[in-house]
Amino acid sequence: MDSSPTMWASPPRRGLSTPALLAVFLFTSWSLLGASSWSFYNRGKDPSGCEMTYMWPDYILEEAFRPADKYKLYLYKEADGLERERNPTGTPVLFIPGNAGSYKQARSLGSVLTHEYRRLTAANPGAKLAPFDVFTVDTNEELAAFQRTLIEDQALYVNAAIQYILELYPKLDSYTYTPPPTAVILIAHSMGGIVARTLPILPNYIPGSVNTIITMATPHLAPPAPLEARLARLYNEIHALWKTSLESETEDALGLRDITLLSLAGGTHDTMVSSSLVEISPFVPLDNGFTAYTSGAPLVWTAADHRAILWCNQVVKAVARALFGIANPIQPARTIGKKQRLEVFRAEFVGSDFDLAERQNTNEAGDVDLGSTTPASNAGLRLTHLSQQTPTTSNFAVPARGQHRFNLVSNTRLPPVTRVCSMPPPSSQAPARCLAVSPRASFMVPSAGEDKMTISGISLDSRDFGDDAVVVVGPHMVDEGQFVLAGIVEETNAIVNVGSEQFDFRGRLHVTLPIKSALTVVNVPSITTGPFKYTVRWRQQHADSKPLFSPVLHQSFASSSESKILRNPQGSLLTSYARWDGSEDKGLVMRVIADPAGGDLRLKLDVAWVESLGSLVGRYMMAMVAFGVAAGVQALVATVDVKAGALPSTSRARALLKRTAVTAASLYVLALMQTAVLCLPLPPAWENVSRGLLLGTRGAHLAFIPPLVYCLAVGAVVAVAMLVEALSWLIRLTRLGGGRLWYSATCLAILTMPAGLAYIVLFVQCVTTAGRARVPETRLIPAKPIPWPSREHVRAAALLLMLLQVFCAPGLVVWARAGRWWAYHDWRMGDVLLPLCALVYVDVLRTGGSTAAPTSTGKMVALITKTVGNAVVLLAFLTGMRSTYVLHPAIAVLFAWLAIARALSMSGVGARQPVRKRL
């Protein structure tokens, strides 16, 4: 019998080899990451229609006000030859730029306010109007989005600037308005809004010096890049202060209850600050402010990117109209009351939002003789210029049984007078007692068939009706091109609920909506504020006659402030934004405004897969950063026990694929567990904590997103590892690092410079150590044998040091821009301790050292090492998206423990002493 080894050899494995599987994984990950980035920046956006604003800017430096060397204050004037006065003459407005913003960004607002004042004074010569004096702060284009110190410095300066502005007016001979102003209107962009909200917590704040704040694209809820713990604590402090001051019944010593706060969001075009962070409802009640989207504002109807929101002509004109609407030059505060200010802001920015859950505003309307009115037909009231010759008054008897709703839609300049009356007894000749109902909303609708159409709507339900109720509409006369549609319908015909079973397996929804009333509400609870976007198409089937106007769809989510008109019936994009406050998502609400004579409405919703792909980058960018750091920690811990030398590429690929598969499966299980836990009756505090873990996704159908984001992060980390290898080759080629000079340079960088520079020096040391770790040079081996670290482990340490630049690079850029190269004035203990842990560990690697041999003590050290590493990884998965800053000190703890473990191995604790062989 042939006993050759080939006879008993295992059959060759079929399928892809390990390197081929790794290549497929990396190609898929990189392709998906690139496609997601392309979709985020180029697809999935509302139509853009911003018009440019033109001006002749002139900035007058306030030389008398220089409390800080790095900041300046300017007064904007229009240099078109018509402005003769160089001093302030009206109502003060202070503009605060955002992150890396310029004081010159106030020019669009200043120019539009100047021209609007000229227009209003020309149209109303006798009106009591005052111009707006736009002051603007030069913050030296600081990166305030990354450091709390910069926000506090700017806020201190703004408080001093407000005091200077208010003290300036009584000294001016040219100022003719009395009394002088006692408050300033703040217009803030991006992080400038956080600066404005930080003013009350500082000691130089003057209570009552600010009564109106308009923020534009400001991340109110959380930092857009949560990389600094002190900045996150500042957010918590200002949230607590505003919430406590506005909601408590104690004395308001800071005067915050008189402040009106309007937060404007740019919508889908803002790729720098997610509009989900612009919400202010968690800490500002509706009596003091609200959030509005430019895409839903009347006469704006367009999304704006992060910087375009400052010069978009439609947005700037809306802000100017609102400012003139709230201005009152004869009052010391220079504005009308808080309630009136909110009404002006709502009419200007939220005119298209009418919530059917709200009660109608009613007041006494006297008596009405029902005998002089005309009963409406069962089909409802339909008034047009051709069908009406004389003023008409109609009445609608509310059926006694069942739930009914009265809807009225009109495009007349003044909506018809609507009253709810109580029917008198049949034997009585007394008139009916009535209550007048005001329109819930009046707004401009950009319809497909008409350029502009003003629609006012009234909706009443069973809560507004009494026993034997009658709804009286009129008397009213419609002009040419106008119409009035009104009627009473059953609740089931006015509100349509769409269940998840009506979607097909591809996520599509094709339904036919019965249009029995001018206003139909469609509830789709299965479409939440998740990562998916939809394409909406609709068409009315003209059954009886041609409708009076093209159907209009209005989109809103109960858990979001976004509210907008869908304009294109051939394909409009339905978008949503993630909720950060943990509130329950009740799903999509669409309101269909259509003529019932046009027949039923065919509605189609299809998942926009390409547009939805951009959510992976748009929503989960910080999660990718945290998951990438977790992948780096996994690589470091996995190579602790690798012996000296270099692993074969096949072994490295197999280990990477196995680690990725196991971690992705664990994340999927964690996401399912989170969904199951949220279904339990938890206390509110526990429920909020549970909603904030992982990526904040809710539902078993979204459990695939955390592992998908992790796989994309692993692909990105592998690309960074390739870059690290290239830099390693370049540094070894130039023979940099490795000596005591670099060690001393690192110590100096830690004590006098930002941590990012210290990590760069440590990275160079680690790279040179990786070059020596593969083939130890004889002259570097000490007299006492020391286990040499593997090249894989040192390279993983260098990769992790490179990933730490995510936390340190912003501070390093701030330090370099400030020009403080000789000393780091923002010295804090954490800036020294965190890189010091990495310094000790890298120095141990530089001099040698690995884990102990497999004895009882060595096994305990290895177990603790893996436990600490897995704890850091779990922390990154659970809290890394919203609290990314916690990973920096966690990795420092890991470095400190690894240094201790390697020091123990070098001293021989728990390890067998190796035997040196004579060559």
Residues 6+ apart with CB under 8 A from 794: 766, 769, 770, 773, 845
The mean pLDDT of 553-574, rounded to a whole number, is 83
**For residue 375, what is the enclosing H or E element?**
strand 374-375
Cα 466–469–470 angle (5° rounding)? 150
Residues 6+ apart with CB under 8 A from 115: 78
Per residue, the 3-state secondary structure of 716-760, as one string, reads HHHHHHHHHHHHHHHHHHHCCCCCHHHHHHHHHHHHHCCHHHHHH
- Judge whether residue 875 has pLDDT over 60: yes
Q: Is 135 helix (H, G, I), strand (E, B) or coil?
A: strand
The mean pLDDT of 519-535, rounded to a whole number, is 86
**For residue 454, what is the enclosing H or E element?**
strand 453-460
Could you identify the residue written with the tokens 């998840």? 500
Helix-strand-coil split of the chain, %, nearest 5: 40, 20, 40
Burial-class residue 230 by CB neighbours within 10 Å (0-12, 13-18, 19+). Answer: middle
Contact 114, 78 (CB under 8 A): yes
Assigned token pair, 322: 């609102």
Question: Between these two residues, 129 and 845, which has the higher pLDDT value?
Answer: 129
* pLDDT tens digits, one per residue of 38-92: 998 888 888 778 889 999 999 999 998 988 778 999 999 998 878 777 888 889 9
* pLDDT tens digits, one per residue of 762-801: 777 777 776 555 444 333 334 344 344 567 778 888 889 8
CA distances to 17, 658, 864, 870 from 662, rounded to whole Å, are 19, 6, 21, 13
Contact 556, 563 (CB under 8 A): yes
Question: What is the spatial distance between Cα 743 and Cα 762, in angstroms, rounded to a whole number?
Answer: 8
The model carries a pTM of 0.87
Question: What is the spatial distance between Cα 310 and Cα 318, in angstroms, rounded to a whole number?
Answer: 12
- Judge whether residue 469 has pLDDT over 90: no
- Judge whether residue 749 has pLDDT over 70: no
Which pLDDT belongs to residue 84?
75
Per residue, the 3-state secondary structure of 801-822, as one string, reads HHHCHHHHHHHHHHHHHHCCCC
Q: Is 384 helix (H, G, I), strand (E, B) or coil?
A: strand
DSSP 479-492: -TT-EEEEEEEEHH
Which pLDDT belongs to residue 841?
79
Contact 67, 158 (CB under 8 A): no
Dihedral in degrees, nearest 10, Cα atoms 898, 904, 909, 913? 100
Question: Between these two residues, 6 and 15, which has the higher pLDDT value?
Answer: 15
Question: What is the spatial distance between Cα 430 and Cα 369, in angstroms, rounded to a whole number?
Answer: 8
For residue 919, give the amino acid letter: L
Banded model confidence at residue 897, pLDDT cuts 50, 70, 90: confident
| 380-412 burial code (b ≥16 CB/10 A, e <16) | bbbbeeeebeeebbbbbebeeeeebbbbbbbbb
- Judge whether residue 7 has pLDDT over 90: no
Mean pLDDT across the chain: 80
For CA atoms 613, 614, 619, 620, the dihedral sign is positive
Helices (H) and strands (E) in the chain, counts: 22, 28
Which pLDDT belongs to residue 585?
65
For CA atoms 110, 113, 115, 117, the dihedral sign is negative
The mean pLDDT of 238-247, rounded to a whole number, is 92
> At 384, phi and psi to the nearest 5?
-135, 175
* pLDDT tens digits, one per residue of 390-434: 677 788 888 877 788 888 888 876 667 778 887 777 666 677 778
Assigned token pair, 441: 């909303």
Order of strands, sheet of 601-607, starting from the edge strand that comes earlier in the sequence:
509-513, 601-607, 534-540, 572-574
* pLDDT tens digits, one per residue of 247-271: 887 777 888 999 999 999 998 888 8
Q: Is 614 helix (H, G, I), strand (E, B) or coil?
A: coil
CA distances to 115, 126, 169, 334, 828 from 123, rounded to whole Å, are 12, 9, 27, 22, 59
* pLDDT tens digits, one per residue of 173-183: 766 776 889 99
Contact 92, 185 (CB under 8 A): yes
Question: What is the spatial distance between Cα 366 and Cα 344, in angstroms, rounded to a whole number?
Answer: 29
Which pLDDT belongs to residue 914?
47
Banded model confidence at residue 852, pLDDT cuts 50, 70, 90: very low
Assigned token pair, 699: 């539902």
User: 813: closest CA among 144, 312, 94?
Assistant: 144
Contact 292, 318 (CB under 8 A): no
Assigned token pair, 731: 């540094």
Contact 130, 333 (CB under 8 A): no
Helices 755-774 and 791-803 cross at an angle (nearest 10°) of: 160
Among 345-349, 611-615, 682-686, 701-705, the minimum mean pLDDT is found in 682-686
Question: Between these two residues, 482 and 665, which has the higher pLDDT value?
Answer: 665
Question: What is the spatial distance between Cα 814 and Cα 810, in angstroms, rounded to a whole number?
Answer: 6
| Percent of all residues in the chain with a pLDDT value above 90, rounded to a whole number | 30
Question: What is the spatial distance between Cα 98 and Cα 140, in angstroms, rounded to a whole number?
Answer: 11
Which pLDDT belongs to residue 352?
52
Instruction: Count the neighbouring beta carbons within 10 Å of the beta carbon of residue 688.
Output: 13
Residues 6+ apart with CB under 8 A from 502: 509, 511
Contact 280, 263 (CB under 8 A): yes
Which pLDDT belongs to residue 908?
55
User: 21: closest CA among 488, 661, 600, 500?
Assistant: 661
User: 797: closest CA among 731, 721, 726, 859?
Assistant: 721
- Judge whether residue 279 has pLDDT over 70: yes
> At 711, phi and psi to the nearest 5?
-65, -40
Residues 6+ apart with CB under 8 A from 155: 195, 196, 198, 199, 202
Which pLDDT belongs to residue 197?
96
- Judge whether residue 843 has pLDDT over 60: yes
Which pLDDT belongs to residue 847?
65
CA 110 to chain centre: 27
Order of strands, sheet of 441-445, starting from the edge strand that comes earlier in the sequence:
381-384, 483-490, 404-410, 453-460, 441-445
Which pLDDT belongs to residue 781?
38
* pLDDT tens digits, one per residue of 87-122: 888 899 999 999 999 999 999 999 999 999 999 988
